[in-house]
Chains A and B, each alone.
Chain A
């Protein structure tokens, strides 16, 4: 069975600092990987996705993630965060049947 582990439940960071949100997955088959952002009382917004090809994936709002098959990781990074990046971030995996399995989420809190 597939599973997703987000290693940090909360990540506080100062504005303009870099940030990395960690995600590890387990699956015996090829996976598609996603990062979503959820602002308070809102639905999900897709940040980026890895389907195949280049392991470095660039998304919206300056975020990027790197797929590392040997370490089964898909960490999300941003070189300089803004206050507006404060939100909940979910790493997710799909084994091709469109059934998405989510991690527990990481709360990014950007401080002034």
Chain B
């Protein structure tokens, strides 16, 4: 299967600072990437859909000014949590897909554990 890499796997930041999480498709070009958030012992909630070269589409209730998404190339999407607060602490997972792969599934990164102190 395809490989999607997320970096960093864990990050601790101070309240009020910003942190950037990268999602890369290593062996295919991803026209679409998705960002999910998982609260402790909860399911994954879709935050936004990121299409290369265009603005991300955010799900209802997700603050686009707080969670900045950039999909500048076909292999990289970034999620920046701006002015982070303890309530932003969570597990963030990205997925990537491309119709060209002929496989009707999205491929998931290993996730990033964000802790805001």
Q: What residue of chain A has the Cβ atom nearest to residue B46's Cβ?
A: A99
Please, how many angstroms separate the alpha-carbon atoms of A49 and B108 in the complex? 14
Contact surface of B with A, Cβ cutoff 8 Å? 1, 6, 32, 34, 36, 42-46, 49, 93, 95, 97, 104-106, 108-111, 113
Chain A 27-57 interface residues, beta-carbon cutoff 8 Å to B: 32, 34, 36, 41-44, 46, 49, 51
A44 and B42 contact, Cβ closer than 8 Å, known pairs A98-B34, A98-B97:
no
Q: How far is the CB of B28 from chain A (nearest CB, A)?
A: 13
Chain A interface size band reads 20 to 34
Q: How far is the CB of B50 from chain A (nearest CB, A)?
A: 11
A94-B104, A105-B42 provided; 16 other pairs, C-beta below 8 A? A32-B104, A43-B108, A90-B44, A94-B106, A98-B32, A98-B34, A98-B95, A98-B97, A98-B105, A99-B46, A100-B34, A100-B46, A100-B95, A100-B106, A102-B43, A104-B43
6 smallest CB-CB distances across A and B, nearest first, come from A43-B110, A98-B97, A43-B111, A44-B108, A102-B44, A104-B43
